[in-house]
Structure 1
Amino acid sequence: MQLPVSPGRYRHVSILLALLGVISGATWLPAQEDAQRQAARVRISLPIAGSSDVAIQQSIERALQALPSVEPRPVLVLELRPGRGESADDSQFERCLALARFLTSTEMSRVRTVAYLPESVTGHAVLLPLACEQIIMAPDAQLGDAGIKEKSISGTMLKAYEEIAGFRNSLPQAIAVAMLDRQAQVFRVNDRQFVSGEQYEAMKKAGEVAKSEKIVSAGELAIFTGRDLRLKYQLISHLAESQQQLAQQLEVPDVDLQLDYSLERDWKATQVQLSGAITHNQVQQVMRMIQSEVASKVNLVLLEIDSPGGDPVAVESLMNFLLKQPDEVRTVALVKGVAASNAAIVPFACDEIVVATDATLGGPGGYQYSEQGTVDVRNFLIQVGENKERRWSAWAAMVDPQLEVANYRHKQSGLTALFCQEELKQQIAPEMWEETEVITTPGQPLQLTGGQAFDLRLADAIAADATDVARRYGVSGEISQPVRTWAHQLIDALAHPGLAWFFLFVGISALIMEMQAPGIGIFGFMAAICFGFYFWSQFLSGTAGWLEVLLFIGGIGFVAIEIFVLPGFGIFGLGGGAMILASIVLASQTFIWPQTDYQLAQVPYSLANIFIVMGAILASLMFAKHIVPHVPYLRETMLHPPDEDAAEEQHRREMIVDLSHLVGETGVAQSQLVPGGKAKFGRELVNVTCETGFAPRGAELIAIAARGNYLLVKPK
């Protein structure tokens, strides 16, 4: 669709006009949007120990260099968050104090420092929020317990906390000390004052206390939730649960709060291609390549996308895989060409989205969701948006032609954002947002150029190729590209449906042939090899696991029991056959029971495996009957029915034992009959088979017929 000139293009025009103004000597005032307060965000991983304070200070200094010295002062957000599997409690006092003094230095005065606590901060890391001008917390995040790991509190520590808290006054000194010292008390006096126990007693004697409340008692460390600090005590400025809410509270563009990862570490990059129609096998290949590169210490993954879309299950699998990457691995989606249909939503799961100016994002492509499918994918995108702290409406509109998305402007801050009605209602004070323009066309999925996506703040940056992205991250070495070796090619060949079906057909045929042969021979070996390749290929494709393998082995075992051990009702045979069929069907699909329209469309392909099994059984029976007897070597491996003379001789030998005189007699089972076993009639111990299939040991039996050398019996 064609969009009107976007705000980003006005920015380009403003730069040109400003340059013309300098040349001509004229004065030109930029638009209000360009005069918005600028911001940057630096993430601080806790605990702060070893030399991590030096690295954090260097990151902050680099962020300072990137921010201009203008009015209003730029905002520097320090996001404090415990590292994966680590605790902020282990932060070292000396390291935290050094950082806190740096944050209160003259060098930091040209920016407004904001401590953002999306998670709890405890231990000496508490010094960092105290050293900032403003504190913003998530409602359930906690701040306090600074002395939790200290056995004793020195005077140096107490003075340090008083010094840092007194410099910024972001929290009262009394509360800061109570977070460190268990002996301290804090009183809330006359609603607005927070004083220590000594100060409280002095004010009380002076008659200055009209109303008081003890909020921290001796013997405990002070710790407060963001909700209490804001709503109960009015000690912090705002609450925010996401990057978008944080940007609204600070009145800065949320794109400015994207983390600049080039400040953080040395990057080792790899480039992986996702091109053409998206299939399950292709996604498995991409995930295997990324896993291999990450295992070799790559920490920056560039996923270049040029695709019309495809298999929705594969798309969702890839997005979940990208979401689960370790914290130390950064994923960047690069769209240089076309990312249409559901290929357009893959970048939404990456840490950063980079587009070429003339790239195409969204629009019709290789897959169109049904009505239920659009609901499913929208719910999925909402979850991804919560994980990545991104707005999801525009991305959902790229695969849902009926979803209306508009550009909104915040009445107070002037910030802009894209919302559908559902997401708008989820905002804080949705009435503060006013609609400016609808960017979708009814009945058509949203389609944007790369430049439009960047101007609408759906993309984080513009880049022509992977080299530009690497330069943005300060990658020092070359960008590696996973090479497809013979092992990858073998895996792809084994995962091809046609080859998998061939292994299945040959394996079933060989298994049937083996059941007609004495002992274990060449057909059993062939069956084992074919089934091994079949399940291996499905495992590599991501459709089979241990469940399918165990079902198949268990089914074969039950069928063998039915044939060789417990001939009777057929329960083991029928159950084993059902297990074999279930394992084959499940090994060919990624779901157990179809729930979406795409899964329903895949059911016929899964059922095709059953017809292959049936065909293999018929073919093997025909082969055993009409071909094997005429092949010199193979005919020696098969059991053949006896001719007429041999059958007569066998019958004569069986009739040597005549048990007809016991018919009608009563005997006692000497073993459990399941259904065969031993029974005693008078003094004779004979082989019997129970007509009902089972009789316990000691049961009284009646012989109802003689069958050569055994009796057919039933319980009395």
Structure 2
Amino acid sequence: MDSVPHSASSAARQTVIEASRFRRWLCLLCVLVGFALIPAACVRPLKAQTAAEVTDADAFSDSSTTEDLPVGYVVDIPLPIVGDRDAIVAGQLEAIRSGTEGTRPTVILNFGAETGDGTGSSGRGSQFERCLALARDLIDWVPHARLVAFVPKNVEGHAVLPILACEELIIASDATLGAAAIDEPADDWIMTSYQNVSAKRGLLPTAIVRTMLDPEAVAIRVQIQDSATPETVGKEKATQLRSTGAIESEDSLWDGGGLASYTGEQLSRYQWALGNASSLLDAAKVAKINTSLRSVSQLPRDWKPVQVTLAGELSNVRVNQIIRGLTEQVEDGCNLILIRLRGAKADMIQATRLAEFLESEITKDVYRLVSIEAATQGPVGVVLAAADEVVMVGNATIGPDVEAVGNGSPESIHRTINELATGGVRPVPLLAAICSPEILVKEFVHQDTGERAIFTDWQIEQQAGADRWLEKRTVAGGKDIDLDLAVRYRLIDSVDGTRQSAFGRLGLEQEPPELKLSWIDAGVQLLASQTWLPRLLMMIGFFALMAELSAPGIGVGGFLSAFCFVGFFWLEGLNGNVEALEVVLFIFGLVALGLELFVIPGFGIFGIGGLLMLLVSIVLASQTFVLPTNSAQLSQVAVNLFWVACLALGGMVGLLLMHRRLENSPLLRWVTLEPPTPEMLEDRDGIEATRRLENLLGQNGITTTRLNPSGKAQFGNSVVSVVGTGNLIGEGIPVTVVEVRGPLILVEEVEA
């Protein structure tokens, strides 16, 4: 190839070289900088949780709005009564007696307590021996407590016997009580036992009790002359009174032909029941006691409490900090955990993790009180499944988050809550409705027993004999849970004007201390809350990587880029966005780009594939889902891509305006080769070296390394540093010297 005169082409060639080099760097910089800023659109901020940042509109104070009524207790009696359930109830009553020495408290015995799925047995299948033992224990309790039986739904079988041993009865108006001998015919021993219990307590007339045991028995209500109140008698007694003419009027209550069951409305009308109520809250009102009923575990004792305020977003790092902090507190002797819900938000995964911890072996001996103090929406409500007591404060509400997405299918939500609510009292249907606005809760009535229960559509499909349940109405779903419904099915236990009311029932005189973060956790949370930091680290990492690629060996640029990349994924991992997939894609993307730059010349499949893997890795690391599954997630992807385009355009404009300054800056001056200064050319040794290099002008040689764009080439026996003027040139490619600019030798690939 003919040599190119230095005087005529120097300026033009320099312009071409700089333009070619700048275009390559500009293309890569703009793409990578744009990718680096993608998380700006989708990383969710993590607000530090401190007591000072939570507005406490109902701060603990000495003023109280609690009703000036006697304190009452509740003891749940799940049906049927089998095994050691009678002994468990007796033990709870003994604990109440010990904790209320010198008083005679009111104890509501909740027959048919919910099992967590919104249903409860009618008592059929209860063992007579266990029921008789419990009835005798209750009779012995007359001096120590006022026992009130609460029957929210139908009760039959021998579970009727301990109800007869109570001092008073409160029953739902549509519930029934009776059919005591439905499981086995009543022999003389059974009949005598029922009559003795009934006679000692006098809750129901003996004639009424007999109709529940003997299908041939009848019950007649008669008004006897000179008697102020009517009597309920059997067939023989009625016949005797008629023969003497003592009956003024009579009303048949049961004509025989089967085992009798009486509705709550009937029992209340004839004043055998204190009143009608369908929930514990209403039952407390009927019993004229404080509506915030205490359980056995709420008896005043030497509490060592701690409270956790949940407000804002509950990220993975925040949940980890809560779990670590509470674990340390329990190990130090904490026996009371107060969870304050103040508008907290959480996805299903984080809410489930927190709930699982609260009901784990670590906290099994700890009393867990959840206080709902502000509008609570979405999966964060599943923590109620792990609570021993749930209090609604003031005008707070609880319900689904209608704007939430990605919390799972109804089936997965139900399975998760079923695992959490095992052995608990919180209703699974209502917990499921809180987690997803798409889940509806409906009330059903059993065609055979008349039992009422609530189910979701998914639950009713799983029920044995689902065709026997008749749908009545939709009671919850897509909006805040009705307060009466929540109390009736024990999603919440009580409604209080202030938190002081709940604390007072526990015997606390001051507000528990807030769970404090260690200085390490506080520092980590501060870093994780800086949404701009991951983007900055990624941008610096790519700049440092490109600088490292321009110089041989591993230097400051390589170390800095590795540090920034690790920092990016660590911060996103703290926010729960990073799994193995994102890291693997990122590493393979860098490897593919390395192959494209150092092994395979040109810009082909490895370069494009590497950039795509980097893009996918960074996008996945900045969001909680992998593939969009609904319109909201698709919109989020569209917004992210829009920001990518805007940020890439901004990076390109900035690079066009600043590339001259960047090349001359102390930090980036070493990225590219620069021509010698006049002072350098005045040096004698430099001038002699330049003259020797000018002899290479027009000579042909072979590259010994890849020109990217700088590298090495051999001319004769000499190996010198050269710079390519066009595309990247691979190793072993023939080249020719087209210009010598001081120590800078410019070459072009020899065309075949």
The one of the two structures with greater contact order (alpha-carbon pairs below 8 A, sep at least 6) is 2
TM-score, scaled to structure 1:
0.49
TM-score, scaled to structure 2:
0.47
